[in-house]
Amino acid sequence: MFVQHPLIKPNKIEDRAYQASLSRACLESSTLIVLPTGMGKTVIALRVIAEVLYRKGGKVLVLAPTKPLVEQHASFLRENLLGKRVACLTGEIDPEEREVCWLENDVIVSTPQVIANDLRYERINLRDVQLIVFDEAHRAVGNYAYVRIAEEFKEYNRLVMGMTASPGSSGAKIGEVCRNLGIQRVEVRSESDPDVAPYMQDVEMQIVEVDIPDEMKKITKILRAMFDSCVRDLIALGLIDEKRPVTRKYLLEIGETIQERLNSGEKRNQLYRGLSVQAMALKINHALELAETQGATALANYLERMRSEAMSENGSRASRSIVQSDEFETIEDILKKTRMEHPKLSKIMSIVSNQVMTHPESRTLVFTHYRDTCELVANKLSKIEGARVAKLVGQAERGEEKGLKQKEQVEVLERFKKGDFNVIVATSVGEEGLDVASTDLVIFYEPVPSEIRSIQRRGRTGRQRPGRVVILKTRGTRDDAYFFTSQRKEKAMRRRLFQISKELQNEEHFTENKERDEQPSQKRNQKESGQKTVFDFL
């Protein structure tokens, strides 16, 4: 069966029960939809947009965090929405042209920064907007442009729809997202829900564990001793709570605290010394992570960049202190003699080689956290017979290494869909939102501690057909900690989501009963006599 609606192309959109149910919820009140990646959040948005335009007219604003996502949404809406004009707004379009586009079109798809700027300079207003769709709604925190737009939209008391695969594990963050967007209802679906399960494909999960090579163990031992020395110095300076584990997050907090004290006028040698030691600890901690989880090439590249920084005119004191140490020289000597890369690399080559050989028509997506590793893995995999490999990285350029402009990112994904490439090695740019073609195999080069990123990575497979997820993990390292952290956060997220959903439903039920008691009897009688109050087509 297909969705039948006056504004949706016939015989195009499969009519799924859970999508219809979630669409109805979004039409009744401002709703946050939390749905696994690949389960059709965009289809739900289409159904809601079509009904709002059909019943109320006016405009609909669809916001997405990146230009490729904006273009993807605009293309989908143009393809499936009947009789309505869809415009795509980005910062590349002149402000005057954007004003005209805003006036002439029914659906505006845009990055939030563009809309926030145009609102600020009064090029546009939200008076005629009946619905705003916030894609990747978990971004609606802090100073992100979503927050400013939603705040301005609240005065019109109209519909808001948020979409995400994961709003985060913290109850405070989920609550902040809901408050910032004016969300009145949270609808959560998981792969195991009765109305979703029939549409889910089986996804096989596999954990592959490896051990650190002996040469890297020597390096990690040296780096750990250097890190512990920094921690002892920070304790001696009275800048650290020795009972608290010294993580990267805690080090960043310490740096912010020291900077605040300096900015407030507290000029003490202890603080300047502490800031330098804190910066050293961060750099050594990063080197330790590379040694444990990434391998010799990634570590060597990082140390080379640190040496270049130390030798530059504006190089940091922290970099100079590390580079001038005996330990740094020892680590470089060990790396020069090291011939073996991280064992993850041979594992990933074996897994991809087997996939390409046994399923030549399949698609494989490899995620790496670091750009250096992405480069290394892509180069190694391109040597496998039958593997047609492409990289998918962000726009940032680093030294001689060029990034991919957003247009180039979209082109890589299009060629992946067509089969020009059958293996993509991606950094985090491949995680969020982008419509990656149906992927048969997803490989994590390393676990990630973020439940949001972990869910997004996994969601790239098992869409139209069964898939497989392989996570590479180095025993006895932070890989273990990151893996269990993301699992724990994911469980916490689901618990808190259902709790917030229940609280909002109870609040909504109370409000409805109160409004019902206050309704004039004539209106109440109309409602009870069978007059339709829910949209017919959904």
Q: Looking at the domain assignment, is residue 529 inside a domain?
A: no
> H helices of 264-369, where?
269-293, 296-311, 317-323, 326-337, 343-358
Q: Are residues 319 and 391 in the same domain?
A: no
pLDDT value at residue 398:
66
Same-domain status, 191 and 227: no
Q: Are residues 291 and 186 in the same domain?
A: no
Domain final position from 460, 477, 494: 477
Element (H, E) at 277: helix 269-293
- Count structural domains, the chain: 3
Whether residue 346 sits in one domain with residue 317: no
pTM of whole model > 0.75?
Answer: yes
88 close to 109: Cβ distance less than 8 angstroms: yes
Taking phi first (over 0 means left), then psi (-120 to 50 degrees means alpha), and beta for anything else, what does residue 399 get?
Answer: left
Range of the domain at 220: 214-337
User: Domain boundary at 477, 500, 517, which?
Assistant: 477
Domain assignment present for residue 495? The answer is: no
Rounded CA separation 509/87 (Å)? 38
Q: Of 291, 315, 337, which marks where a domain is finished?
A: 337
CA distances from 223 to 29, 229, 279, 300, 437 (A): 54, 10, 15, 14, 41
Q: Using an 8 Å Cβ cutoff, are 161 and 131 in contact?
A: yes
Q: Does some domain include residue 493?
A: no
Whether residue 31 is contained in a domain is answered as yes
User: H or E stretch including 469?
Assistant: strand 467-474
For helices 269-293 and 296-311, give the axis angle rounded to 10 degrees. Answer: 150
Considering the domain architecture, whether residues 161 and 28 belong to the same structural domain is answered as yes
Distance, in Å, from the CA atom of 94 to the CA atom of 100, rounded to the nearest integer, reads 10
Residue 306 resides in a domain: yes
Question: Is the same domain home to 56 and 147?
Answer: yes
Spatial CA neighbour of 88 closest among 99, 104, 101, 103? 101
- Residue 441 CA to residue 451 CA, distance in Å, equals 20
Any idea what DSSP says for residue 38? T
Looking up residue 270, the CATH number of its domain turns out to be 1.20.1320.20
- Triad 285, 288, 293: Cα angle to 5°: 125
Q: Angle, nearest 10°, between helix axes 112-120 and 145-153? A: 50
Q: Indicate whether 61 belongs to any domain.
A: yes
Token pair, residue 393, equals 């990285």
Question: Are the C-beta atoms of residues 164 and 80 closer than 8 Å to each other?
Answer: no
SS3 467: strand
Tell me, rounded to whole angstroms, the distance of Cα 61 from its chain centroid: 21
Q: What are the C-alpha distances in Å from 379 to residues 42, 95, 425, 473?
A: 35, 42, 10, 21
The DSSP bridge partners found for residue 461 are: 439
> Which are the contacts of 348, defined by CB distance < 8 A and separation ≥ 6?
366, 377, 380, 381, 443, 445, 472
Report yes or no on 271 lying in a domain: yes
Bridge partners for 88 per DSSP:
109
Q: Please name the residue that has the structure tokens 């973020």.
A: 450
* 134 lies in the same domain as 240: no
Per-residue pLDDT of the chain (538 residues; tens, 9 = 90+): 899 999 999 999 999 999 999 999 999 999 999 988 778 899 999 999 999 999 999 999 999 998 888 988 999 999 999 999 999 998 889 999 999 999 999 999 999 999 999 999 999 999 999 999 999 999 999 999 999 999 999 999 999 999 998 887 778 888 999 999 999 999 988 777 888 878 777 788 999 999 999 999 999 999 999 999 999 999 999 999 888 999 999 999 999 999 999 999 888 899 999 999 999 999 999 999 999 999 999 999 999 999 999 999 888 999 999 999 999 999 999 999 887 889 999 999 999 999 999 999 999 999 999 999 999 999 999 999 999 999 998 887 766 667 888 788 888 888 998 899 999 999 887 776 556 657 899 999 999 988 778 877 887 776 677 889 999 999 999 999 999 998 888 888 878 877 877 777 666 544 454 454 555 444 444 444 343 333 444 4
> Which CATH number fits the domain that encloses residue 439?
3.40.50.300
Token representation of residue 155: 């005065």
Residue 496 lies in a domain: no
The verdict on 268 and 186 lying in the same domain is no
Q: Tell me the C-alpha to C-alpha distance, in Å, between residue 465 and each of 166, 199, 376, 424, 449.
A: 22, 10, 30, 19, 27
- Do 117 and 46 lie in a common domain? yes
- Burial of 523 per CB tally in 10 Å (0-12, 13-18, 19+): exposed
The Cα-based distances of 2 to 11, 13, 79, 495 in angstroms read 5, 5, 15, 34
Considering the domain architecture, whether residues 139 and 278 belong to the same structural domain is answered as: no
The verdict on 320 and 350 lying in the same domain is no
Question: Is-contact 181 30, C-beta < 8 A?
Answer: yes
Phi-psi region of 434 (alpha: psi -120 to 50; beta: other; left: phi over 0): beta
Which residues are registered as beta bridge partners of 365?
424, 442
How many other CB atoms are found less than 10 A from the CB of residue 361? 8
- Do residue 323 and residue 349 come from a single domain? no
Ramachandran class of 157: left when φ > 0, alpha when ψ lies in -120 to 50, beta otherwise: left
DSSP class of residue 428 equals G
- 3-state helix vs strand vs coil in the chain, percent to 5: 55, 15, 30
